[in-house]
Amino acid sequence: MTNRAWWKECVVYQIYPRSFYDSNGDGIGDLRGILQKLDYLKELGIDVVWLCPVYKSPNDDNGYDISNYQDIMDEFGTLADWEKLLAEMHKREMKLVMDLVVNHTSDEHPWFQEARKSKDNPYRDFYIWRPAKAGHEPNNWRSFFGGSAWGYDEQTSEYYLHLFSKKQPDLNWENPQVREEIYTMMDWWLQKGIDGFRMDVINMLSKTPGLPDVPAVTNDRYQFAGQYFVNGPRLMEFLLEMKAKVLSRYDILTVGETPFVTTQDAIMIAGEETGALKMVFQFEHMDLSAETGAEIRTDKSSRLLDLKSVMSRWQKDLEGRAWNSIYLGNHDQPRSVSQFGDDGRYRVESAKLLATFIHMLQGTPYVYQGDEIGMTNVAFESIDDYRDVATRNMYREAVENKGVDPLEALKVVHAKSRDNARTPMQWDPSKQAGFTTGTPWIKVNPNYEEINVAEARANPESVFHYYKKLIRLRKENPVIVYGSYDLLLASHEEIYAFTRTLEEDRLFVILNFSANTSVFHLPEDFAVKSTELLISNYNINPDENIQEFSLHPYEARVYRL
Ligand code: TEU
Ligand code: CA
């Protein structure tokens, strides 16, 4: 049986501050805006907030490029505003998890400003510098945001590594001084009373010595080189050092953002006994739709078997060994209802189904802002309406270098852009969705008149009220948190069904992931004596015989057996 812990029992709400609520009309969400909405989060039942980066930043990548780790970005407010926010959260018995971005800094961070001055500057070795190789970049690694992962610096005629944008130089974790600086900074925030860290691309800290060229798998000049920096040779050493020097001294939630991890990696990084972190974000289920590359996959039901097998493997492999974090969306992904559900006719039903799904699996659920009202993807008419550096770079690369038709490229942007999740939070049907009295930094989704918090709170059948109920159920039923998971109907192409069992207590979760009415038969040996319907997204007869029945489009039910 898994050990009990508060960070297993909580529900985390992710805030993307730039788009949450603007308190002063400059079009940018801010800390005072969040403060004004704490009671809203409390009403929803949230007990932990993960706040995306609010540190000083030139915002090349919306705060993931930090120029001062120990101060607040001007647009978001001041350190005093932040202190007040933390105090008000604690007053409401809510916890605050901060984003930790230490794979890279901004190129405007004083360390990098120093480092680039000369080859013998004391900060030079804080970053990863290499001379040109035969007049070219030091190797063929590709940046996540397109182009080479190397930036040329004229002043010293050398290249620096940047796995992300050219304004995000990678820190050199091989340098013990870098690690000490980071630990000191982390401690500074923990001493202020924060309740944890979400750690940005934390499994990319250790790069393979020699930084070798990666074997080409496409015709492109630059190639994805994950094998040389994902879960690199010294990763565990660094994380365990961080644990020994900082993390182990506090009762905190730590979640590593760890693209490309397997369950074995997760057990190593976040194992109950010997791991360094409390949990990790895995990406296998998010990448199911990404695999087809530029092609947009519309055939959602055939993906269900893949989704079942991925999620079931994570549930079973981690059980009793490590703890899952459960999510279907964040600020880097299309909206969950657009990606996994139906953002048209069955928007409300499918948003509720997905909510049921993330709350009923074993692990800590993460709710991304706006998902609790079923916010959807957006399709802006022009690439100029997009703000995300990754989106803009990809589009330019496709149209300018690869000759992709601009309209086709825009279609991919509509389906995949990170800005889908970054349009302003829709608070009410007034102008700019009640997000700002000014002009928002990115356009609001035009569907705000229909989809907004004011409507959702007033309507007892809304996605919002359904989330509230799920969160309450989780608090009342330890089986939802700690019960073991067992998949049923493994090869059904439309229905995802599973049980959760904690000693005598047993739940049966049944989800129709399709727009069809779907019929199923429970196995003979799955004898059901009496049932209690805990929650459902349709009005159904709670005493219906459940040995065999049909489910409405996107119907979700949870029974206690
Ligand atoms: O994301 C890491 C990451 O792997 C993403 O870049 C991902 O590949 C991409 O977004 C998929 O569309 C983290 C942050 O969550 C992201 O916002 C940052 O841009 C990135 O790190 C760099 O800090
Ligand atoms: Ca503002």
Catalytic residue among 61, 75, 153, 200: 200
Residue nearest ligand 1's atom 23 by CA: 64
Smallest Cα–Cα separation from 333: which of 212, 416, 220, 270? 416
Tell me which of 14, 57, 165, 201 to substitute to probe ligand 1's pocket, judged by most ligand atoms within 8 Å of the beta carbon. Answer: 201
Atom of ligand 1 lying closest to residue 333 CA: 12
pLDDT of 296: 40
Nearest 5°: the CA angle 452, 10, 542 is 70
Which residue puts its alpha carbon closest to atom 8 of ligand 1? 144
Give the integer Cα–Cα distance in Å for 530 and 545.
Answer: 9
- CA 30 from centroid of its chain's CA atoms: 20
- Determine which residue's CA is closest to atom 20 belonging to ligand 1: 64
Type of residue numbered 23 = S
Q: Are strands 48-51 and 12-15 parallel, antiparallel or unpaired?
A: parallel
Question: What is residue 249's DSSP assignment?
Answer: G
CA of 61 to the centre of ligand 1 (A): 9
- CA dihedral of residues 306, 312, 317, 321 (deg, nearest 10): 140
Distance of alpha carbon 411 from alpha carbon 408, whole angstroms? 5
User: Separation of 551 CA from ligand 1 center, angstroms?
Assistant: 37
pLDDT at 294: 35
What are the tens digits of pLDDT across the range 277-304? Answer: 999 999 999 998 754 433 344 455 568 9
Phi, psi for residue 240 in degrees, rounded to 5: -70, -30
Residue 257 falls in the annotated catalytic set: yes
Instruction: Quote the Cα angle for 185-190-192, to 5°.
Output: 100
Q: How many CB atoms lie within 10 A of CB 210?
A: 8
Residue of minimum CA distance from atom 2 in ligand 1:
201
Q: Which of 30, 107, 257, 349 is catalytic?
A: 257
Output the residue whose Cα is nearest ligand 1's atom 18. 64
- C-alpha triplet 160, 205, 234: angle, nearest 5°: 120
Alpha-carbon torsion 253, 259, 262, 268, what sign?
negative
Q: How far is the CA of 104 from the centre of ligand 1 (A)?
A: 12
Nearest CA to ligand 1 atom 10: 332
Ligand closest to CA 30:
2
Predicted confidence pLDDT, tens digits, the chain (561 residues): 579 999 999 999 999 999 999 999 999 999 999 999 999 999 999 999 999 999 999 999 999 999 999 999 999 999 999 999 999 999 999 999 999 999 999 999 999 999 999 999 999 999 999 999 999 999 999 999 999 999 999 999 999 999 999 999 999 999 999 999 999 999 999 999 999 999 999 999 999 999 999 999 999 999 999 999 999 999 999 999 999 999 999 999 999 999 999 999 999 999 998 999 999 999 999 998 754 433 344 455 568 999 999 999 999 999 999 999 999 999 999 999 999 999 999 999 999 999 999 999 999 999 999 999 999 999 999 999 999 999 999 999 999 999 999 999 999 999 999 999 999 999 999 999 999 999 999 999 999 999 999 999 999 999 999 999 999 999 999 999 999 999 999 999 999 999 999 999 999 999 999 999 988 887 777 766 678 999 999 998 877 777 777 899 999 999 998
Cα 112 to averaged position of ligand 1 atoms, centre (Å): 21
d(CA 289, CA 304): 11
Q: How far apart are CA 291 and CA 144, in angstroms?
A: 15
- Ligand 1 centre from 332 Cα, in Å? 6
Determine the atom of ligand 1 nearest the C-alpha atom of 61: 19
Question: Is 543 one of the annotated active-site residues of the chain?
Answer: no
Residue 1's pLDDT is 59
Beta carbons within 10 angstroms of residue 383's beta carbon: 16
- Measure 51 CA to ligand 2 centroid, in angstroms: 16
pLDDT in tens, 384-398: 999 999 999 999 999
Q: Ligand 1: which residues within 6 Å by Cβ?
A: 61, 64, 101, 144, 164, 200-201, 257, 259, 331-332, 390, 418
Cα–Cα distance measured from residue 235 to residue 240, given in angstroms and rounded to the nearest whole number: 9
Quick one: tokens of 485?
């998971």
